[in-house]
Each structure stands twice: as C-alpha cells, then as structure tokens.
Amino acid sequence: MKHKDISPRDRLIFAMDVPDCEQARSLADALGDAVTFYKIGLELMMSGGYFELLDWMLERDKKVFCDLKFFDIPATVGSAVRQLKDRGATFVTVHGNQSIMEAAAENKGDTLKVLGVTVLTSLDRGDLDDLGFDCDVGDLVLSRARRALEAGCDGVISSGLEVPRLRENIDDKLLVVTPGIRPVDNKPAGDQKRVVTVDTAFGNGADYIVVGRPIRDAGSPREAAEAIQATIAEAVA
C-alpha cells in the first residue's frame, strides 16, 4: 500500500468530544505535542466559544477539522462553507446529495478541504434498512464516495471496512478519513458499529484516522496518543 505524503503525526486526528471549550483547552494542553490535529464538532459548537477555540488551536500550530456535517439546501451550505473557508480550518464535513456537495466544493477556497460523509460508522445494515437504503453498505459507501469526488470534494469520511473498495475503484487522490478506530480488536465499540484497528485502517488505505474515547478516557491521554502515534509511524513506514 503506497501512502500519500502526509506527516505521520498529522495522520492521527483526535476527536475533541468534551462538553465545553475550557475542558477542550485543558485536554489539549495535557496532550501537548502528542496530538497535532484536532476534530471539533457539534457539541463544542453548541457550547459557545467554538471559533475562539479554533483560533486558540491555530495559534498553537495545531490543525483543525471542523466536523459540522453541513446538511441544508445547497445555497445555505455553500454560504456556510464560504464563511468558514478563511478561518484556518483544514477540513470540514458535508452530508447530503450531489448538489449540496457541489455547493460546498464551489465555496471552499484554496485551503479548506471538503469531506463528504459516506455512511456513519454508527450505522449497520439494520439502520440502513430503517432509513430506506435497500443496498449493501459497501455499495452505498462506494457510490457516495464517487459522487463526492465528482462534486469536487477533496475526500470522504469512511469506515475502515470499506476503504479497500474505495482504493480499488476510485482515484487515489481521494482523501479518506476513517473514524471508528479502536487500538485493539477486543475494545468495546460503544455506539460505533463498524470499527477497525489502527493497523487495519492504514493497511486498508486510510489517509487519516479519527480517535476519540480511547485517548480521552485513558488513564493518561497523552500516553495513549503517543502509543497510537507509534503504531501509525510503523504502519505507514
């Protein structure tokens, strides 16, 4: 597996899923240089101080993934992405059909990268049946990834289980960011249903992984992050 030219330490994206920005800053300070890339999402957005936290992280030379999953009429999504494009974030997520993804891509500017959500890792076959998707999970991920690339998105969010099919069938320039990571096979998945280990994610062709609870809830979050960094360095060597 040939990996893209990405700094190994930037390949770990820590999901900063905490109730407020004060806790986020405290945890980021504790993690120090063990983490260079942070995902901040809807919980922190609703707590207040989201953009102040974004600026605080950028001032400390951290990369930021704004996981906001924009989903609205195309004009509104395009305007939202346009408002974000000069804030210094590296990634933003969009969720929706072709015209929504196209509107996001058209307004992302030169530095912000748009990632299309394929199928949330909290969903399994039964959930897709409930949503009315009468197709295989892998087929749906592949279809949505193709449409994201056609729409001008830079990459997708995909479970590591489906990444091999993406690499076999889609241009390698597509960025693949994989959530639902568990450091070892026997860790409980919580609300994540389609999970893989760090080694499997990169072996399957992921460019980045998103890890939250295995770091956040560890006895020493910094040590947990460093252990994952060591695994990544070996996996992409």
Tokens in use for 94? 């969009």
pLDDT at residue 183 in the model: 74
Residues assigned a catalytic role: 69
pLDDT score of 1 more than 80: no
pTM flag (> 0.75): yes
pLDDT score of 81 more than 70: yes
Percent of the chain at pLDDT > 70 equals 87
pLDDT score of 15 more than 60: yes
**Domains by residue range for the chain, with CATH:** 8-235 (3.20.20.70)
Average per-residue pLDDT in the chain? Answer: 89
Hey, what amino acid is at 192? Q
pLDDT at residue 96 in the model: 83
pLDDT at residue 118 in the model: 87
Beta strands in the chain (DSSP E): 12-15, 37-41, 63-70, 91-94, 113-117, 155-157, 175-178, 208-211
pLDDT score of 48 more than 60: yes
Tokens in use for 46? 């609703």
Residue-wise burial string across 88-104, b where 16 or more C-beta atoms lie within 10 A, e elsewhere: bbbbbbbbbeeebbbbb
pLDDT in tens, 171-226: 888 999 999 888 765 444 455 555 789 999 999 999 999 999 999 999 999 999 99
pLDDT in tens, 107-140: 999 999 999 998 655 555 555 555 555 566 778 8
* Residue from 152, 149, 143 nearest 119 by CA: 143
